[in-house]
């Protein structure tokens, strides 16, 4: 097992890789005066300007998946960020790179490590 000073050192090294930022939105819940819990309509901002990095990995060879009428390319998009942020499955994550929003994704299940967290992202738009 890693000691705390080693973990702190690794966390600092990871932070140097976070070249993107993210805004995280989620559905919030409120309790009514009668004690019932209800989900609010619309997404509310949860985390703003979270340092992060996204990575994409091709899952199959474009040559194997191309036909004369289709161009199917599958890839996996992964978000890396600090464990200091609480991300939840289903969060909407808006990624900004170089001052421009590049995409909005839906968060998969976070995988927590001592030094960082990773989660798969799912595209909300097509094409």
What CATH number does residue 57 fall under? Answer: 2.40.10
Tens of pLDDT, residue by residue, the chain (127 residues): 788 999 899 989 888 999 999 999 998 877 778 888 777 767 889 999 999 999 988 766 555 556 677 666 677 899 999 999 999 999 999 999 999 998 999 999 999 999 999 999 998 876 5
CA 95 – CA 49 distance, rounded (Å): 9
Length of the chain: 127
- pLDDT at residue 62 in the model: 54
With H, G, I as helix, E, B as strand and everything else as coil, classify residue 75.
strand
Q: Closest Cα to residue 120, out of 100, 98, 90?
A: 90
- pLDDT at residue 127 in the model: 53
Q: How many domains are there within the chain?
A: 1
- pLDDT at residue 86 in the model: 96
- pTM here? 0.76
CA 103 – CA 111 distance, rounded (Å): 21
Domain extent at residue 60: 4-123
- pLDDT at residue 63 in the model: 56
β-partners of residue 24 are: 47, 93
CA 98 – CA 20 distance, rounded (Å): 8
């Amino acid at each position: 097992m890693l000691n705390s000073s080693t973990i702190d050192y690794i966390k600092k090294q990871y932070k140097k890789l976070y070249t993107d930022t993210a805004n995280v939105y989620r559905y919030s819940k409120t309790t009514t005066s009668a004690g019932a819990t209800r989900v609010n309509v619309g997404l509310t901002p949860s985390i703003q300007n979270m340092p992060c990095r996204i990575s994409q990995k091709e899952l199959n060879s474009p040559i194997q998946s191309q036909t004369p009428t289709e161009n199917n390319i599958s890839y996996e998009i992964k978000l890396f960020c600090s464990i200091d942020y609480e991300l939840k499955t289903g969060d909407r994550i808006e990624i900004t790179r170089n001052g421009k929003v590049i995409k909005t994704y839906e968060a998969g299940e976070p995988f927590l490590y001592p030094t960082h967290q990773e989660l798969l992202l799912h595209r909300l738009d097509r094409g």
